[in-house]
Amino acid sequence: MKNPTHIVIVGGGAGGLELATKLGDTLGKRKQAKITLVDANRTHIWKPRLHEVATGALNATVDELSYAAHGYHHHFEFIWGKMDGLDRDNKQISLAPLSTEIENILPPRTLNYDQLVIAVGSQTNDFGTPGASEHCIFLDRREAAEEFHQAFLTIYMKASASAQVTASSADILADKEPNTESNAQSNSISHTSTEQPEKEKFAIAIVGGGATGVELAAEIKAAAEHLSKYGFQGICPENVSITIIEAADRLMPALSPRASQAILRQLYAFEIDVLLGELVTQVSAEGLYTKSGKFIPAQLKVWSAGVKAPEFLTRLGGLETNRINQLVVKPTLQTTLDENIFAFGDCAQCAIKGSDRSVPPRAQAAHQQSSLLAKSLRDSIAGKPLREFNYQDKGSLVSLGKQGSVGNMMGNLSKDFTFEGKVARWLYVMLYRLHQSALHGWGKTLLLTIRDRINRKMNPSMKLH
């Protein structure tokens, strides 16, 4: 009896995990194929929510999904590892050794496949800007988001501790002052000068006016308000300055000018500074320098100005890649040089039908491609031809926290319809629920929604540790 086809999916992001789930629930459950998911992490977090992890609005420990447990329930195997090589002739991928600073966890391994799907996503592209990698946080991984969160809280804790010491010293000095008429004037002056110590200032700079930069800025503004309420008095909200630096002449150039203007208007309402048409040329520990000669001081710096696929893709068995390391694929999402290797999502360059443009690196594109590949790979098992991908731009939604959101919808009826406020916020939340429903079904998604509502009632508005 012939062994079932082995489909290996590398990358457990939104698209890769959805694909593994769909194939596991169909081909895997019926034993028509063996489905294996490979990822360098053991848990999944929806990447568009990393800005919430960074500010503590989302507790990643509560919201994360275990690949191993999910695989058990959806009939696919999970292998923990990072792909670092490909042998196309023998249909085999190699996995790098896994180790910590104190021990080796797993040795190098190999894994055979019949059909290989690469969905390793993208990473931040700093375009070789001097100092960017040394002094900026690249908000493209959970670890980076948690690094920002810890750095953010540390600055607040230090400022609050300093304010407490200053206040205590002032109280001691006031107690030691002799209470005589001759010293009344000096006592009054001393009391006045120490009663309200000057609050510290906190500057944050974000390079890139795309969705990540805009959403992070809005969440930081909300976090500053929450921390003030929770007793972190060393930095008051009005002393937190947030600056977005964007090289283009408007925010999120992929959106309509009307949508960009709506986003800019809301950011200004939050007192967030936006510098347009400014190219960052150098980053130092103290701040950022622009091509026009400006210097933007900042204690925390985030780079979110561009994306590229992981560099190791350029060394995979001679497969065709483009200038930002993406694997070039045909309309069937097969790589141009190997029909048994597919790629999709941010790590793939796929042309839009009837256009000279490529499918943009968005979550909606990965979702559409995973749905198509799930059908295509099932068709392939049944001996049917592969389907071709036709990207449908549904528009974009930008979260500006609980304060509001901006939506830019596309379609035959709306053409280009921009809207703001609670409706846009509700639709943004629904995007995440749609992702959850693709993984768990609507029944469990409803339970997760109820859980999240209870957590919001029971827990602080942001993670404080």
* pLDDT tens, position by position, 241-253: 999 999 999 998 8
Q: Return mean pLDDT, the chain.
A: 89
Give the pTM.
0.90
Domain range 135-176+184-305, CATH architecture: 3-Layer(bba) Sandwich (3.50)
d(CA 209, CA 207): 7
From 156-170, 259-273, 343-357, the region with the lowest mean pLDDT: 156-170
Check: CB of residue 64 under 8 Å from CB of residue 43. Answer: yes
Q: Which residue in 319, 310, 336, 324 sits closest to 86, CA to CA?
A: 319
For the beta carbon of residue 339, count every other beta carbon within 10 angstroms: 12
d(CA 32, CA 159): 60
* pLDDT at residue 271, rounded to an integer: 94
Share of the chain above pLDDT 70, in %: 88
5-122+309-389 — its CATH code? 3.50.50.60
Q: What would the pLDDT profile of 221-247 be if each residue is shown by its tens digit?
A: 999 999 999 989 889 999 999 999 999
For the beta carbon of residue 297, count every other beta carbon within 10 angstroms: 13
Per-residue exposure over 151-185, b if at least 16 CB sit within 10 Å of its own CB, e if not? ebbebbeebbeebeeeeeebeeeeeeeeeeeeeee
Q: What would the pLDDT profile of 59-108 be if each residue is shown by its tens digit?
A: 999 899 999 999 999 999 999 999 999 999 999 999 999 887 788 888 99
Q: What would the pLDDT profile of 340-391 be if each residue is shown by its tens digit?
A: 999 999 999 999 988 889 999 988 999 999 999 999 999 999 999 999 999 9
Q: What would the pLDDT profile of 388-439 be if each residue is shown by its tens digit?
A: 999 998 878 888 877 666 766 554 444 556 666 777 778 888 889 999 999 9
DSSP secondary structure string for all residues of 250-306: SSSTTS-HHHHHHHHHHHHHTT-EEEES--EEEE-SSEEEETTS-EEE-SEEEE-S-
Comma-separated ranges of CATH 3.50.50.60 domains in the chain: 5-122+309-389, 135-176+184-305
Angle, in degrees to the nearest 10, between helices 142-176 and 184-195 = 170
Give the rounded distance of the alpha carbon of 220 from its chain centre: 15
* pLDDT at residue 190, rounded to an integer: 46
- What stretch of H or E contains 212? helix 211-229
Q: What would the pLDDT profile of 45-55 be if each residue is shown by its tens digit?
A: 999 999 999 99
Amino acid code (one letter) for 139: L
- What stretch of H or E contains 186? helix 184-195
Give the rounded distance of the alpha carbon of 152 from its chain centre: 17
Q: Which residues pair with 317 in a beta bridge?
A: none
